[in-house]
Amino acid sequence: MHIVITGGAGFLGARLARTLLEQGQLALAGAAPQSIQSITLVDRAAPPADLAADSRIHSLVGDLNHLLEAKTATDQPIWAQAALIFHLAAAVSGECEANFDLGMRSNIDATRALLEVCRLQGSCPTVVFASSLAVFGNSAAQPLPAVIDDRTLPTPQNSYGIQKFICEQLVADYGRKGFICARNVRLMTVSVRPGKPNGAASSFLSGMIREPLAGVRAACPVPKDTAVALSSPASTIAGLIRSATATDAEWGARTAINLPALTTTVGAMASALEKLGGKAATDLIDWTPEPAIASIVTSWPAVIDAARARALGLLPDPDFESIVADYIRDEMSENPHIKPAS
């Protein structure tokens, strides 16, 4: 089986590739398990060294919109060979809000071009589209219900959410037409992400843990009682892979499923950090309100009833402390700054 991951050199894409390589095989949409022969990481950036060193990893480096132009795509057999495409590449929420055209191009145009390439190939690959919690937006004119479920009407309040929701519709219709096998899956905010801050409005939800654990100051731009819906990297990857293995009957409607989320608050996150990293860590958090960020983040829902995901066996992380512990184990084994509380 050949797999493509767009955004494959990013944190989630690379972790997804590692997990797939580790398990070595995949039972796509309920079919018999097949060994994973290759994974092509499509990204602006080259793959991380560990992945680049694996003979099963290929990479296609460049601008996704350009790579997907019909003429260019025809030169790349990866599109014709792929039985499974994880479409993770996207401009993130903060970027899209600052640069409207960037979001329209990188999110809508690129997704549509990807779907067109699938259609032109005629091989009906499974496409797992990484949508987002950001399709839900709270507003005074149309308050969100207290609990979001799989039938809640998305009313996005930022361009990123609009673009993701539009792509869900495209993916659903390309699926209905038989051009692809459609798997629309809404990712929750992933925390704790390793690496550097990015342009996502939610970036601080990793930074406020990651930076203090590394002895670096970090800003938290929202009040402590701000409720958020989070998913660990491991749970998020599990959700993406389960979306690919679900049969049509297990999956149900082509509309998006919400992945499960742990509901917590920014204050409780800081408490979990303090338990594992000590007061020295939480002292490094600057509680500096930033209205532009806060207005995006507080428009997202915090409580998710992820019934369809639950039926697929996907559950939220049990608590934020275990998420932080996982981060320390997975990403910080050689970091001298961690000083677990005794």
Residues forming the site for a copy of itself (CB under 8 A): 100, 139, 141-142, 151-157, 159, 162, 165-166, 169-170, 172-173, 176-177, 252-255
The Cα 34–Cα 26 span in angstroms is 5
| Nearer residue to a copy of itself within complex by CB, 50 or 100 | 100
End-to-end Cα separation, the chain, in angstroms = 48
Q: Is 335 exposed, middle or buried (0-12, 13-18, 19+ CB in 10 A)?
A: exposed
| Nearer residue to a copy of itself within complex by CB, 7 or 156 | 156
How many C-beta atoms lie closer than 10 Å to residue 31's C-beta? 12
- Quote the strand ranges of the chain, DSSP E: 2-6, 25-26, 34-35, 38-43, 57-61, 82-87, 126-132, 181-187, 189-190, 218-219, 227-231, 257-258, 262-265, 285-286
| Nearer residue to a copy of itself within complex by CB, 311 or 332 | 311
Q: Measured from the CB of residue 166, what is the shortest distance to a copy of itself in angstroms?
A: 5
Structural contact between residues 12 and 237, judged by C-beta atoms closer than 8 angstroms:
yes
Q: Cα separations (Å) of 275 from 127, 245, 281? A: 40, 37, 9
The Cα 44–Cα 42 span in angstroms is 7
Catalytic-role residue among 11, 79, 129, 160: 160
| Nearer residue to a copy of itself within complex by CB, 172 or 220 | 172
Q: Measured from the CB of residue 143, what is the shortest distance to a copy of itself in angstroms?
A: 10
The 3-state DSSP class for residue 244 equals: helix
Q: Measured from the CB of residue 300, what is the shortest distance to a copy of itself in angstroms?
A: 15
The Cα 175–Cα 26 span in angstroms is 21
| Nearer residue to a copy of itself within complex by CB, 253 or 280 | 253
71 φ, ψ to 5°?
A: -65, -40
The Cα 180–Cα 171 span in angstroms is 8
Specify the length of the chain in residues.
Answer: 342
| Nearer residue to a copy of itself within complex by CB, 107 or 236 | 107
The answer to whether 160 is a known catalytic residue is yes
Specify the DSSP class assigned to residue 304: B
| Nearer residue to a copy of itself within complex by CB, 178 or 313 | 178
Q: Measured from the CB of residue 209, what is the shortest distance to a copy of itself in angstroms?
A: 31
Q: Measured from the CB of residue 221, what is the shortest distance to a copy of itself in angstroms?
A: 21
Q: Measured from the CB of residue 112, what is the shortest distance to a copy of itself in angstroms?
A: 8
Amino acid letter, residue 86:
F
Structural contact between residues 158 and 137, judged by C-beta atoms closer than 8 angstroms:
yes
Q: Measured from the CB of residue 302, what is the shortest distance to a copy of itself in angstroms?
A: 19
| Residues classed as catalytic | 160
